[in-house]
Amino acid sequence: MPCFVCSTCGTQFAEMHAPPGECPICTDDRQYVGWGGQQWTTPTALARDHAIRIADDDGIRGYDITPGFGIPQRMALVPTGEGNVLWESLSLVTDAALADIRSRGGAAAIAISHPHFYTAMVDWSDALGGIPIFLHAEDRQWVQRTAPQIRFWEGKVHALSNDARLIHCGGHFAGSCALHVDGGVDGKGALFCGDTLQVTMDRRRVSFMHSFPNAIPLPEKDVLTIKERLADYAFDRAYGYSRGRNILGDARMAVDASIAAYLSINH
């Protein structure tokens, strides 16, 4: 039985004989059903005509599906003091990507910012030896394929090592997180944003949305929570959700200015 994959958002579902009637990720107001109606694929079919581009993304090893599929996010292999963390996930797993990860020391854990990027997280974990997948407990309801290696964490911060932690910010999803590392490429700290803060196309600021494709803004109170949760962390770089969409330098200042601008616009 295949684990069907939604062609619009890239979410992989639990094994079943026939695809589900709808994808709850896409019928949610943060996403959308493809204009041609709900479409499904399978891991086997996806592997036939897609590959994973493996390349440096501003100093971090990055992986994304080519040609573009799903949202389309970049997965990153982020070094920490206690092994690499695979940040975010993809709908497709390939031998070439696994070999690349293994050649860099493998991954100790998977961590994902929010349900739009859960995709084939269980396949990635299985292929890497059953490593834990850290998801925030407030997004538990959105998991479409459960597995014993999924660890739901609670609270505001979850340490992955002495120099890397997941920060619960909420907003876009109730459990939305960011990953912060102390050193990073330039030694001045890095924030991996997911959609919790979205690096904008000028790569000089971030923004906040309940829904990006449907342009539904985030309430001011949620942005104030994000501000408070990130207040204690220094970072010079902010890595956005997709390849190249990164702020390289003075990212802390850019995030602070973006929050201030968002709040003043919404007064």
User: Which residues in this chain contact Zn ion in the complex, by CB under 5 A?
Assistant: 6, 8-9, 11, 23, 25-26, 116, 195
Do the beta carbons of residue 145 and residue 12 sit within 8 Å?
yes
User: 98 by DSSP, 3-state: which?
Assistant: helix
Fill in the DSSP letter of residue 141: G
Nearer to Zn ion, 25 or 93 (CB): 25
Nearer to Zn ion, 11 or 242 (CB): 11
CB of 130 to Zn ion, least distance (A): 26
CB of 11 to Zn ion, least distance (A): 5
CB of 109 to Zn ion, least distance (A): 21
Here the tokens at position 226 are 């994000």
How many Å apart are CA 115 and CA 93, to the nearest integer? 18
CB of 96 to Zn ion, least distance (A): 26
CB of 153 to Zn ion, least distance (A): 19
Nearer to Zn ion, 64 or 195 (CB): 195
Here the tokens at position 1 are 């039985």
- Count of residues in the chain: 267
Do the beta carbons of residue 113 and residue 178 sit within 8 Å?
yes
Nearer to Zn ion, 128 or 179 (CB): 179
Using alpha carbons only, how large is the chain's radius of gyration in Å? Answer: 17
Fill in the DSSP letter of residue 11: P
How many Å apart are CA 62 and CA 72, to the nearest integer? 13
Nearer to Zn ion, 84 or 176 (CB): 176
